[in-house]
């Protein structure tokens, strides 16, 4: 059974392990084991994931996780960003559970939560080396608003926005 809930202190080591799983290419992979062994430490260069409470909750946003049969299998956060919109960050779905609607449920809940917080929409980025993610966000109604390329990158960053529909409560989040 899938449960969406707010981040709890103590979730971090499994979230760090989830963040470390591959997210490039054809990434649905049912052979990746559940449960994930907790990571020993936070990922380098992601201070908001090292301190979820400070990086998201205390910043006026939220961070949600998805549990499937008691295992953390997805995560994502929002925080107030530019233009009155919520910045969406750290979206990850465990490879063994992809293509089951978990990412869609998580994104829907984050978008509703952004509306509850009074934010008028959401924005996020992904990269051209993640075509499945690009297709996923387009399928959710996100529209591309720009691209950024740097000489040191082998990929192009793609920016998306979406208006938040209404201010209905996010169902099923505890």
Contact 122, 114 (CB under 8 A): yes
Would you give the distance in Å from CA 142 to the centre of its chain?
Answer: 14
Find the radius of gyration of the CA atoms of the chain.
15
pTM: 0.91
> Which residues contact residue 79 at a Cβ distance below 8 angstroms, ignoring those fewer than 6 apart?
48, 55, 56, 59, 60, 61, 86, 87, 89
> Which residues contact residue 63 at a Cβ distance below 8 angstroms, ignoring those fewer than 6 apart?
6, 7, 52, 56, 57, 75, 76, 77, 78, 90
Q: What pLDDT, on a 0 to 100 scale, did the predictor assign at position 7? A: 98
> What is the dotted CATH code of the domain comprising 2-163?
3.40.630.30
Q: What pLDDT, on a 0 to 100 scale, did the predictor assign at position 10? A: 95
Domain ranges of the chain: 2-163
Residue 101, CA distances (Å) to 43, 66, 123 in order = 26, 11, 20
Task: Note the pLDDT tens digit of each residue in 86-119.
Answer: 999 999 999 999 999 999 999 999 999 999 999 9
User: Within the chain, which residues score under 50 in pLDDT?
Assistant: 167-171
């Amino acid at each position: 059974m899938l449960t969406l809930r707010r981040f709890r202190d103590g979730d971090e080591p499994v979230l760090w392990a989830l963040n470390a799983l591959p997210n490039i290419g054809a990434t649905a992979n049912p052979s990746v084991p559940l449960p994930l062994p907790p990571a020993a430490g936070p990922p380098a260069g992601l201070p908001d994931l090292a301190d979820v409470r400070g990086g998201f909750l205390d910043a006026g946003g939220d961070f949600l996780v998805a549990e499937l049969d008691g295992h953390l299998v997805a995560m994502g956060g929002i925080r107030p960003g530019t233009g009155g919109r919520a910045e969406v960050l750290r979206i990850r779905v465990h490879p063994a559970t992809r293509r089951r609607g978990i990412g869609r449920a998580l994104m829907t809940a984050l978008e509703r939560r952004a509306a509850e917080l009074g934010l008028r929409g959401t924005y996020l980025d992904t990269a051209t080396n993640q075509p499945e993610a690009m297709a996923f966000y387009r399928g959710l109604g996100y529209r591309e608003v720009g691209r950024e390329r740097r000489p040191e990158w082998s990929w192009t960053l793609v920016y998306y926005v979406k208006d938040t529909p209404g201010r209905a409560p996010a169902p099923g989040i505890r």
